[in-house]
């Protein structure tokens, strides 16, 4: 069900699930406390869009603490981002609706216009990746990707990137977008991984480490 849809009445739900109406009522009250539904005594029970902003805040604080403890945890954050976003890209290729692709396209165009402005480029890049995660249809994963991007933002803003590097990065985004448009999940996953190989190189340079053959930085 989508946000705004009305659930069936309690007696009907109780009949379908073969439980007492009081159990259904208690379950709905608990769901309301979690922000999953809204109960209106006069109109019924309606599905709510979950508010996951507290999850984003908690994740961001945890990731910030990890970075404070050891700057090299930046490598682990980058690895986590690769693992997460390869799968969100694949899922988005399977599930994206026309309006999702339009949003991703607009972010891509902003990215292409911002190759000479590091701050604007990073901001547009974040929106591009969050839009893909949103198109994948998993709000928890979207929150995770957003939290990772927030944690990585200070490092990305400080990383020295030439305009030519930024332009090549934008070209990689075009390849990802085209795979999404074509609905090719495997290619979307591969294009996302190829895109991150360049990002991993920049992180390694930032930390003064050279990547090994397997792509992980030397310790």
Contact 163, 125 (CB under 8 A): no
Q: Give the mean pLDDT of 156-172.
A: 83
Contact 37, 7 (CB under 8 A): yes
Task: Indicate the pTM of the whole model.
Answer: 0.65
Residue with tokens 């911002």: 114
Residue with tokens 């895109």: 195
Confidence of residue 210 (pLDDT cuts 50, 70, 90): very low
Q: Give the mean pLDDT of 100-124.
A: 93
Angle in degrees, CA 108, 114, 119, rounded to 5: 110
Q: Where are the domains of the chain?
A: 10-47, 53-206
CA 155 to CA 139: how far, in whole Å?
Answer: 25
CATH 1.20.120.530 is the classification of domain 53-206: yes
pLDDT tens per residue across span 126-162:
999 999 999 998 888 888 898 888 888 887 887 767 8
């Amino acid at each position: 069900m989508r946000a705004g849809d009305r659930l069936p009445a309690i007696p009907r739900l109780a009949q379908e699930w073969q439980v007492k109406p009081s159990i259904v009522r208690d379950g709905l009250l608990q769901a309301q406390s979690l922000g999953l539904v809204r109960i209106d005594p006069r109109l019924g029970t309606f599905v709510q869009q979950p508010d996951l902003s507290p999850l984003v805040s908690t994740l961001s604080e945890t990731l910030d603490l990890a970075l404070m403890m050891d700057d090299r945890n930046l490598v682990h954050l980058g690895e986590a981002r690769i693992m997460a976003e390869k799968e969100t890209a694949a899922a988005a290729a399977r599930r994206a609706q026309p309006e999702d692709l339009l949003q991703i396209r607009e972010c891509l165009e902003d990215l292409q216009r911002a190759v000479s402005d590091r701050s604007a480029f990073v901001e547009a890049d974040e929106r591009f990746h969050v839009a893909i995660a949103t198109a994948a249809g998993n709000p928890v994963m979207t929150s995770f990707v957003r939290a990772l991007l927030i944690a990585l933002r200070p490092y990305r803003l400080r990383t020295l990137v030439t305009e030519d590097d930024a332009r090549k990065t934008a070209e990689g985004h075009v390849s990802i977008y085209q795979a999404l448009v074509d609905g090719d999940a495997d290619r979307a996953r591969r294009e996302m991984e190829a895109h991150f190989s360049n990002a991993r190189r920049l992180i390694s340079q930032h930390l003064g480490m050279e990547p090994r053959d397997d792509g992980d930085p030397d310790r």
